[in-house]
Amino acid sequence: MVAVGATALVLLLIGDPAGAAPTTDPPPAATVQVSAETVLPGSPQGPAADTADTVSADPGESARRATGTLRALLRDFLNFLPALGIALALLAVAAVLARLVRMGLRAALASWERADATAALVAVLIWLLALGAALSVLAGDARALVGSVGLFGLALSWALQTPIESFTGWLLNSFRSYYRIGDRIGVGEVFGDVVRIDFLTTTVFEAGGPDKRVQAAQATGALITFPNYEVLRSNVVNYTRDFPYVWDELTIGVANESDIALAARVIQQTAGEVIGERMQGAARAYADLLERSNLAWDVSPDPEVYASTQDAWTDITVRYLVPAREMRRWSSRLLLAVNRALAADDVADRVFASYPRNQVQPVPPPRWATRDEDRSSADEERL
């Protein structure tokens, strides 16, 4: 399909310009062929008469024909030069106009977050119009050009499906703002901070994760570039776009024979001392965000504690709000503070750390086994 469209477009562009005078080549030299069925006076008879005798044309005639073809090609090329010059001039004007329009739109819409996307889209439209006008000038027939370009465009849309999808993903992200430069995002298997957004690709500084050498959500130093069509195919998770904080949790395991209520109270008090003041402003901002979204949820301004049972211990989980890029820092501070609080003299005697243990319990034999043993003993006594 690509070959058919390209051939049609090339033939349309290099064909004879409208109004060109037709050229006539001199008639080819006559070739007289004498077959075996024609007997000429004085011709030999017998087997020699079955062979055709060919009278070749003058060799100079072939040279004249080749020279005429070259002259016709040169004449067509000279006739094509004015149209080519006009087409190149149109493209040059489009380049200057697109640059001026982009600069003007960026200056006029500087406060609008979609200014760059709008300017780029207008520039693309200008280039498309200029390219269509240039091809019309070269072809000389706009109606024939429409059919050829339509077929060629259909072939290109199939062959360039992936770049077109990536460009569509860029347009969608530009106008819907799924992510911007500086946001921390997760797209498919990619997780990190956005540093560059192009027409076809997005580049991020990678952040760590469970399957990476850096386990926590901290920068690894690697750059990852992924195609923009992932916006259409994968879930886009933005951790910092409208609210630069995330909820995090720290879980502490205590033995079942501990004073669970005391442990929960100590952990909650310690979390409030470590992060409670910093969390209050973020909690109010989160509550306002939910209210604007018509989600009337209760948001606690202080860290909250939850308890859950496990196989041989009890987990006490503290939930708190921290900046998205500082989760590891605050979880480390909180863990150290909780360990110091649980090691205090008035707490250590009542709260014990969880530990793995195995319990062995003897199981009495079944009743049928006891009856069999008694019967065997009675038989032995009789004997």
Helices (H), the chain: 2-14, 59-108, 115-139, 142-159, 161-176, 230-233, 260-271, 277-292, 327-342, 345-348, 367-382
Mean pLDDT of 204-226: 88
List the one residue out of 49, 51, 33, 32 whose CA is nearest residue 41: 49
What pTM, to 2 d.p., does this model score?
Answer: 0.61
* Cα–Cα distances in angstroms (integers) from residue 351 to residues 13, 48, 131, 314, 340, in the given order: 87, 124, 78, 11, 13
List the one residue out of 160, 151, 157 whose CA is nearest residue 11: 151
What pLDDT, on the 0 to 100 scale, is given for residue 362? Answer: 77
- Partners of 320 in the beta sheet? 248
Q: How confident is the model at residue 111 (pLDDT cuts 50, 70, 90)?
A: low
Residue 30's SS3 state is coil
Q: How confident is the model at residue 322 (pLDDT cuts 50, 70, 90)?
A: very high
Please check the confidence at residue 117 and state whether its pLDDT lies above 50: yes
List of residues 6+ apart from 130 with CB closer than 8 A: 90, 91, 93, 94
Q: Which of 222 and 361 is assigned the larger pLDDT? A: 222
* Averaged confidence pLDDT in the chain: 78
Q: Which domains does the chain have, with CATH numbers?
A: 1-14+64-159 (no CATH), 178-238 (2.30.30.60), 245-348 (3.30.70.100)
Q: Which of 265 and 105 is assigned the larger pLDDT? A: 265
Please check the confidence at residue 350 and state whether its pLDDT lies above 80: yes
- Partners of 317 in the beta sheet? 251, 306
Question: Torsions phi, psi of 74, nearest 5?
Answer: -65, -40
Please check the confidence at residue 140 and state whether its pLDDT lies above 50: yes
Mean pLDDT of 324-330: 91
Cβ-contact 118, 105 below 8 angstroms? yes
Please check the confidence at residue 296 and state whether its pLDDT lies above 90: no
Question: Torsions phi, psi of 125, nearest 5?
Answer: -65, -40
Residue 179's SS3 state is coil
- Partners of 236 in the beta sheet? 187
Q: How confident is the model at residue 383 (pLDDT cuts 50, 70, 90)?
A: low
Q: How confident is the model at residue 127 (pLDDT cuts 50, 70, 90)?
A: confident
Q: How confident is the model at residue 112 (pLDDT cuts 50, 70, 90)?
A: low
What pLDDT, on the 0 to 100 scale, is given for residue 36? Answer: 41
Q: Which of 313 and 2 is assigned the larger pLDDT? A: 313
